A and B are shown apart, each in its own frame.
Chain A
Amino acid sequence: MKLRTLFLAAALAGLAAGAVTAAEPQEVREGLMKKIGGSMGALSAIAKGQKPYDAEVVKASLTAISTSIKAFPDQFPAGSEANSEASPKIWENKADFDAKAASLGADADTLLAQLPADPAGVGAALGKLGPHCGDCHQVYRVKK
């Protein structure tokens, strides 16, 4: 109830400012994950030779993964389990969940510091990032 009032207030404030309306945390975090998925897709297309190597795309994709996963752990206020695929285990074990997010963020940053220079390098980068996804989803994401 209180939360709803808060959202309403935020939404009204948004309207008043002529800006965007406030999104539910569920939407925000799903949006962040979608962005991460899309970036992995862009990198994969380069690694597989479906798209030509483009340093800008590689950099933008890795940056999107890094910034999105760093913002991700902040989108789990108490009570936001509903209507999402987030497992209740996130709230029981938040420190471990945060550590898994941080570890993906750190690997993305390392790759940004030494940008993969060709499709094979991008493939190797995917090999580093990919296991983080399943590792976290195994414990903290449930299909509904």
Chain B
Amino acid sequence: MARRARKLVSTVLFLGVVVAGGAWFVTKPERWPAAHWDGFGAPDLSHGEQVFWAGGCTSCHAAPGAEGDAKLVLSGGLPLKSPFGTFHVPNISPDDTAGIGRWTLAQFGDAMTRGVGPDGEHLYPSFPYGSYARLTPTHVNDLYGYIKTLPKSPNVAPPHDLPFPYDIRASLGGWKLLFYSDKPRVPVDPANAKLVRGQYLVEGPGHCGECHTPRNALGGFRTDLWLAGAPNPDGEGQIPNITPGSKAIGAWSEADIATYLETGFTPDFDSAGGSMAEVVQNIAKLPAADRDAIAAYLKAVPAR
């Protein structure tokens, strides 16, 4: 009953947003000016691979259940459940027809950082471009170069299964107007290079907030509760608070956090589970200095 009521409220709000968005006309998909993507030249493939693991693309775009090298086939197909319906993750392998093999850097970059698809359509924020928005154009160029070296897959994922009104892409303009931001989530000392790197990794490619920050009824972050923990979208359990106010990691040292991100082991030898197990596998592939930077940032965010 309560759930139904909540759904109704969010639908009404959503429609309100659609109307407001339409009225203002400011909600058309906004690409970067083409020059934004010009002149980067040959990508740095090994750096692109690091951005790839930091971004955790395989967690969503690999075939469900893929292990080892099979994870590098970005064939799509994983169903992602959400309060708005079920998304089916698309193929982003470099296949010319089923994947993104024929995309230009600008098309890829606008999808990654502005949530704009190749035909100018809005993309759903279940693709965490609201975090990837912080990727620098050079890093996007490196990432795209690396993805092009991966195997092709002919797989075509089923269309998303979304009830009205969530199936209307145009309505996402209203969502973006309200919630899209490529600005810092919390202030950090700009003179502290380690913190700045940690902020980039956590708020940007690592998209940690997408799971660890609670959302409002329309799926926007509750920015005052940055990383403060949230219900698990899979339905079961709770994604933990990872600010210094947490009963668990509040007591961990920076080294403890870095070890957890490398091995999955907590200081009392519990081992990361759920969707975090895969995040750890990805982050473990980064240089140790990056895990230290993430740990420093997690110690520096406001306690909640």
A88→B236 contact, CB < 8 A: yes
Interface string of A26-60 (1 = CB under 8 A from B): 00000001001110110010000000000000000
Interface string of B235-264 (1 = CB under 8 A from A): 011111000000000000000000000011
Asked if B269 lies at the interface with its beta carbon under 8 angstroms from chain A, I say yes
- Residue on A nearest B270 in the bound complex, by CB: A37
B264→A134 contact, CB < 8 A: yes
Asked if B121 lies at the interface with its beta carbon under 8 angstroms from chain A, I say no
Q: Which residues, 111 to 144 on A, are CB-close (under 8 Å) to B?
A: 130, 133-138, 140-144
Given contacts A40-B265, A142-B232, contact A134 B238 (CB under 8 A): no
Given contacts A142-B237, A143-B238, A143-B239, contact A130 B271 (CB under 8 A): yes
> Which chain B residues lie closer than 8 Å to A141 at the CB level?
273-274
CA distance A137 to B274 in the complex (A): 6
B277→A143 contact, CB < 8 A: no
Given contacts A142-B232, A143-B239, contact A37 B268 (CB under 8 A): yes
- Residue on A nearest B237 in the bound complex, by CB: A142
Asked if B182 lies at the interface with its beta carbon under 8 angstroms from chain A, I say no
CA distance A97 to B256 in the complex (A): 29
Query: Interface extent on B, as a size class?
Result: 20 to 34
- Most central of B232, B236, B263, B271 by chain A CB within 10 Å: B271
Asked if A87 lies at the interface with its beta carbon under 8 angstroms from chain B, I say yes
- Residue on B nearest A34 in the bound complex, by CB: B268
Chain A contact residue count (CB 8 A cutoff): 22
Q: Which residues, 225 to 239 on B, are CB-close (under 8 Å) to A?
A: 232, 236-239
A-B interface contact total, Cβ < 8 Å: 58
> Which chain A residues lie closer than 8 Å to B270 at the CB level?
33, 37
By DSSP majority rule, is chain A's interface helix, strand, loop, or mixed?
helix
- 8 Å CB contact of A143 from B237, B265, B278, B281: B237
CA distance A68 to B236 in the complex (A): 26
A138→B236 contact, CB < 8 A: no
Interface string of B253-297 (1 = CB under 8 A from A): 000000000011100111111110110110000000000000000
A130→B263 contact, CB < 8 A: yes
- Residue on B nearest A40 in the bound complex, by CB: B269
B273→A138 contact, CB < 8 A: yes
Least CB distance from B272 to A in Å reads 6
Asked if A85 lies at the interface with its beta carbon under 8 angstroms from chain B, I say yes
A133→B237 contact, CB < 8 A: no
B269→A144 contact, CB < 8 A: no
Q: Which residues, 2 to 44 on A, are CB-close (under 8 Å) to B?
A: 33, 36-38, 40-41, 44
A44→B236 contact, CB < 8 A: no
Least CB distance from A54 to B in Å reads 18
CA distance A42 to B274 in the complex (A): 25
Q: Give A residues with C-beta under 8 Å from B.
A: 33, 36-38, 40-41, 44, 85, 87-88, 130, 133-138, 140-144
